[in-house]
Amino acid sequence: MFINLVFSATSRFAQKMVRRKVVATNEHIGTSNEAFLTSSHFQKHDLYTWVAEEVKNTPSTITKKDLDELKGSGVIFTFDDVGNNYSLTLPNQEERLCHINHHAKNVPDWMWMYETLFTCLGVRIPFSDFQQDVLKLCGCAPSQMHPNSWAIIRGFELLCSFLDFPISTRVFFYFFNFAISFGACGQGFLSFQANHNHRIFNLFEESYHGFKEKYFKVERVSGSQPFFMTSENEKRFNLYWNFHVASPKIELKGMNPIERDIIHTLLGLWNDNPLDLRMILADVQASKNVVVKMVGGTEAITAMRRKLGTNTISTNTEGRDMISSSTIHGNLSPPEPQKSTIDIEILDAHPPSSSLVRKKQKSKDKRLNQ
């Protein structure tokens, strides 16, 4: 019995030390985590327990031929020469869309993407400044958002460009927020929903059949500077799935005059009769013509834009004003990172504590029972 007690205590101590070693190297999950992952206690301390089983159990079915055709089709990159800086790579049999870089010290970071974003939604590499800002403020990875979320981001970008409005993340989050589903099966893909009484698009729920199985890695070519990393080799936004996502809460009183004018204009035009998002995404030029006609023609747009220009922009002296050009800069070097008015720390390598998972689940159950 004494021997059994000693063995039990030694085993618990060894497990504890393994966990401590993992936590100590959690920022760059590396060799310590490899030992942890190969231990008999891996299932108990799985880094991905919070991820939906469907995501964890779905391998990629995309092939090298598919990737070659994608790259050759011209739908991945804004310009052909941009593609010279990136490699589209197949995941191995064990890798899943939610997996992080376990060898970050020795292996350059990559970005998970799925085919649908490029073939159906018009997303291109590099992402626009606005798309990067949305990702950073939410704290999520590009592959963590459902295609419907990307559809809303793209639709909002296009609408602002049709009206020649400056595009603002504050205006975007005034209209939309994340519907974060967290149930017994874990957290799946994240979807945006319209905020109450702030609707400019109709209900958009496409299934995008098969998108969950067609994913791959976007890796940097050796010696190149990928848009998702800064010159200091820091991530511009989370590249891997992250439990600690957030949906910024934006109020009208926090807007500057231009942003308030944009919000009132968009609500006045489409709050009662929302735009068809499918139309906007299906044919950009045709939808632009429809929108321009709806607002009274190009002269009306010029007048609205001139009105916006007469307001004084409240400058955030401590950081970024969060109003950026609606022009999508394709092959330009990405801007140096600037401090956002909402501080979001990139935490993609940190798994949630079990207590935090339980707290989220209890909170959801409480709301459902009310």
pLDDT digits (tens, 9 = 90+) for 152-197: 999 999 999 999 999 999 999 999 998 776 666 788 999 999 998 8
Bond prior to 248 in cis (omega within 30° of 0):
no
Cβ contacts of residue 288 below 8 Å, gap of 6+?
158, 162
Separation of alpha carbons 182 and 362, rounded Å: 10
Return the minimum-mean-pLDDT range out of 52-56, 137-141, 175-179, 321-325: 321-325
The span from the CA of 346 to the CA of 260, in Å, is 30
For position 363, what pLDDT does the model report? 52
Q: What is the CA radius of gyration of the chain?
A: 23
Q: What is the mean pLDDT of the chain?
A: 78
Mean pLDDT value across residues 308-330: 39
Instruction: Determine the number of helices (DSSP H) and then strands (DSSP E) in the chain.
Output: 13, 9
Tell me the mean pLDDT in the region 224-228.
95
Query: CA 59: distance to chain centroid?
Result: 21
- The average pLDDT across 61-66 equals 96
pLDDT above 50: residue 321: no
Could you tell me which residue, 94 or 337, shows the higher pLDDT? 94
Percent of the chain with pLDDT over 90: 58
Distances 110 to 22, 29, 118, 232 between C-alpha atoms, Å:
22, 14, 17, 16
Q: Give residue 76's pLDDT.
A: 96
**Is 192 strand, coil or helix?**
strand
pLDDT band at 3 (very low <50, low <70, confident <90, very high): very low
* Contact predicate 348/241, CB 8 Å: yes
The b/e string for 103-134 (b: 16+ C-beta within 10 A; e otherwise) is ebeeeebbbbbbbbbbbbbebbbbbbbbbbbb
Q: What is the DSSP string of 234-252?
A: -BSS--S--S--------G
Output the pLDDT for position 345.
Answer: 41
What per-residue confidence (pLDDT) applies to 241? Answer: 96
pTM summary value: 0.74
Residue 184: per-residue pLDDT: 63
